[in-house]
Amino acid sequence: MSETAKKIALVTGGSSGIGEATARALAADGWHVIVAARRLDRLEKIAEEIGGEARELDVTSQESVDKLAASIDHLHLLVNNAGGAKGLDPIEKANIADWEWMYETNVLGTLRVTQAFLDKLTADEGHIINISSVAGIQPYAGGAGYNAAKFGVTAMNKVMRIEFVDRPIRITEINPGRVKTDFSLIRFKGDAAKADAVYADKLNLSAEDIAESIRWVAGLPAHMNIDRMVITPRDQVI
């Protein structure tokens, strides 16, 4: 397929973890993939390897999102993957700055990028895949800030289905469970011992496992909409 004939996918948070694995899987399926995140050096390496494009993006900045949108004319698939957790504090000791970061990246980030590309996705009969979490379905002790943010993403996904039903756009929510990535290292602010303990002696999913599901959803015929996929390792019950 020539570059111009390829369908175009944008993956936010594309510099590592689920985002990077998704970009690689989509590129292998013939998509022209634009990987976007804050770490441009990592993105450029990935983009070179998959024959895609790297773009700097901070989903917490409207200016950054607008700049990205102005540089992309067509979009067939948006994977709203940028997000994450900070802290595992009980509500009694909740850190407001952590909660603000989680709401900004997971919820407002998804909103900003979706708004910015909605008209292009409509014109190109596109697909939005929102990466939520099992934390968007199941609350847990210490999870309130992340739960609130991912419940927010889940709510937004449902409202997108309702509000965009008359547009030729598909909307899918992916709810991964325990996936061994930098997720916990970021949550625990660089404390590797705490992060490693999350995955020790457990079956864990890989970022590639989630990417497999995303590539499958994205490759389905345009009249089929997968509303939600909940994916956990066998030993994780939610």
Among 128, 135, 153, 171, binds ligand 8X3 (CB under 6 A): 135
Total interface residues for ligand 8X3 by CB under 6 A: 7
**CB 113, min distance to ligand 8X3, A:** 19
Span interacting with ligand 8X3, options 51-59, 119-127, 159-167, 170-178, rule CB under 6 A: 170-178
Task: Give phi and psi for 212, each to the nearest 5.
Answer: -60, -45
Contacts of residue 18, defined as CB under 8 A and 6 or more positions apart, other chains included, come to 81, 131, 176, 179, 181, 207, 210, 211
83 forms part of the interface with ligand 8X3 (CB under 6 A)? no
Q: What is the DSSP annotation of 168-208?
A: T-EEEEEEE--B-STHHHHHTTT-HHHHHHHHTTS--B-HH
Q: Using an 8 Å Cβ cutoff, are 154 and 209 in contact?
A: no
- Residue 103 falls in the annotated catalytic set: no
Q: Kindly tell me which of 33 and 134 has the beta carbon lying closer to ligand 8X3.
A: 134
Q: Kindly tell me which of 169 and 179 has the beta carbon lying closer to ligand 8X3.
A: 179
Among 133, 172, 181, 213, binds ligand 8X3 (CB under 6 A): 133
Span interacting with ligand 8X3, options 48-56, 88-96, 173-181, 217-225, rule CB under 6 A: 173-181
**CB 232, min distance to ligand 8X3, A:** 7
